Amino acid sequence: MIEGKGLRVWDASGREHIDAVSGGVWTVNVGYGRESIANAIRDQVVKLNFFAQSAGSVPGAVFAEKLIEKMPGLSRVYYVNSGSEANEKAFKMVRQIAHKRYGGKKRKILYRERDYHGSTISTISAGGQAERNAQYGPYTPGFVSVPHCLEYRAQWDVENYGERAADAIEEVILREGPDTVGALCLETVTAGGGVIPAPQGYWERVQEICRKYDILLHLDEVVCGVGRTGTWFGYQQYGIKPDLVTMAKGVASGYAAIACLVTTENVFEMFKDEASDPLNHFRDISTFGGCTGGPAAALENMRIIEDEDLLGNTTTMGARLMDNLHALKDRHAVVGDVRGSGLFCGAELVADRISKDPVAEAQVQAVIADCMGQGVIIGATARAVPGFNNTLCLAPSLIATADDIDAITDAIDHALTRVFG
Ligand code: PLP
């Protein structure tokens, strides 16, 4: 692609496309071609482009203040450059707390099947997508997997599925020993692993379990943070209070490489006891976390979301997208399940609704190619969850209009008819 404006992009041949995946990987939350963000970056970097630890710069400090206003209960912001790096920093904090407070014992970090937390060795060690991890071992020790919570592919036959799926995490904690587990790291809404919002009751129970065993709750909001679900952060729809939150893609909508790790005052306080041991502070640095263009872009990105009521638009348009997906499910037997939160939706394609066998990868690719031919770019879950690369992914920019949403689902409707009859 060589140019973008709003929700549309143009390829090298000059052909226009509706982008239903915000730059391919759910990133461009406020849409393309925002001159005010470009100007904010330019004005800032001409004034002061860099100084180590950008919270020390004016836009760094102001953005941190504004961000924590949106995150009651959290109060400290650390700037880095990517989602992987934000998660790595969170893992380092958990490990250091284990050493400082628990004699090195509470150092295990639990992660969930199907979730993804990044591309570095430690984040793939916390990665529940087998194909992304293969051939990169040995992995960082101390990461332990817990079951996923996708009700459509239920692993337990019970009524309160959300609570049952959370109880499965408790079973792992008890098996490993609660005094060995420091944190639970989960995507609030699993993205590339299948677009999976948790079932009702899940998060409340997860929080209860974390509190019961003194385990930090780390939520990876790299995809679902900054408005994508219709609230500033996905977890805010469940009334829970995480200890660590990581975010990246929508922070500056891809106009600058900025990601954040946000923690509670309680976590921050744990690193302040330097008097007893000079190693007690968080000994970490991110050189380019000191770039001021990132927070300048993030501030303007946040202003746009507020002034244009993009949270409200995401809620309204997300509901329309979900209604349209339900209509597709009624019309096409191949659509086995539709799910999502705000403008972050998926449609899982199955060869048979009873067996729920996934359709062939080539068929998923044919649907994507057909949509592309109609000028609509959609995505699918990665091959990384073997056998389950069968979910169409939709995450248009938060500026999407009703006409855009209808054009996206119309294209999928035609594609499904052509590919599956
Ligand atoms: N966490 C989640 C949920 C992601 O989807 C991704 C990337 O897609 C990451 C972490 C890693 O982010 P990055 O590619 O910026 O390192």
- The widest CA-to-CA distance across the chain, in whole angstroms, is 71
Prediction ipTM score: 1.00
Establish whether residue 260 lines the binding site of ligand 1, counting it when its CB lies within 6 angstroms of any ligand atom. Answer: no
Is residue 84 lining ligand 1, measured as CB closer than 6 Å? yes
Segment 203-228 mean pLDDT: 98
The percentage of residues in the chain with a pLDDT greater than 70, rounded to a whole number, is: 98
pLDDT higher than threshold 80 for residue 33: yes
Q: How many CB atoms lie within 10 A of CB 145?
A: 15
* pLDDT at res. 131: 87
Tell me how far apart the alpha carbons of residues 181 and 202 are, in angstroms, rounded to a whole number. Answer: 20
Question: In a mutational test of the pocket of ligand 1, which residue from 89, 249, 261, 341 has the highest number of ligand atoms less than 8 Å from its CB?
Answer: 249
Strand order in the sheet with 335-340: 335-340, 345-349, 391-394, 379-380
**Ligand 1 atom closest to residue 115's alpha carbon, by position in its atom list:** 3
In sequence order, the 6+-apart residues with CB closer than 8 A to the CB of 24 are 377, 379
pLDDT at 363: 95
pLDDT of residue 266: 97
pLDDT score of 52: 87
**Residue nearest atom 7 in ligand 1 by C-alpha distance:** 118
Contact 72, 87 (CB under 8 A): no
From 219, 231, 230, 223, select the one nearest 250 (Cα to Cα): 223
Confidence of residue 101 (pLDDT cuts 50, 70, 90): very high
327: left (phi over 0), alpha (psi -120 to 50) or beta: alpha
243 lines ligand 1 (CB under 6 A): no
- Cβ(83) to ligand 1 under 6 A? yes
Predicted confidence at residue 54, as pLDDT, reads 59
Is this model's pTM higher than 0.95 or not? yes
Q: What is the pLDDT of residue 371?
A: 98
Ligand 1 atom, smallest distance to 190 CA: 3
**What mean pLDDT is reported for the chain?**
96
Q: Does residue 200 register a pLDDT over 80?
A: yes
Report pLDDT for 384. 63
CB of 191 shorter than 6 A to ligand 1: yes
The ligand 1 atom nearest the CA atom of 192: 5
H runs (alpha helix) in 103-213 = 121-125, 130-133, 161-176, 202-212
223 lines ligand 1 (CB under 6 A): yes
Q: Cβ(111) to ligand 1 under 6 A?
A: no
Radius of gyration of the chain (CA): 21
Smallest CA-to-CA distance from 145 within 167, 129, 161 is with 129
CB of 190 closer than 6 angstroms to any ligand 1 atom: no
79: CA distance to ligand 1 center in Å?
Answer: 15
182 contacts 98 by C-beta, under 8 angstroms: yes
3-state class of 125 per DSSP? helix
Nearest CA owner, ligand 1 atom 10: 117
The minimum-distance atom of ligand 1 relative to the CA of 249 is 15
Domains and CATH numbers, the chain: 3-33+309-420 (3.90.1150.10), 35-307 (3.40.640.10)
Q: How far does residue 191's CA lie from ligand 1's centre (Å)?
A: 9
**Model confidence at 22, in pLDDT bands (50, 70, 90)?**
very high
Q: Provide the pLDDT confidence category of residue 17 given band limits of 50, 70 and 90.
A: very high
Q: Determine the pLDDT at residue 56.
A: 73
Any ligand 1 atom below 6 A from CB of 21: no
Asked whether 117 lines ligand 1 (CB < 6 A), one says yes
Which tens digits make up the pLDDT trace of 255-266? 999 999 999 999
Question: Which tokens in the block code for residue 416?
Answer: 């499904």
Encode pLDDT of 343-385 as tens digits: 999 999 999 999 999 999 999 999 999 999 999 999 998 776 7
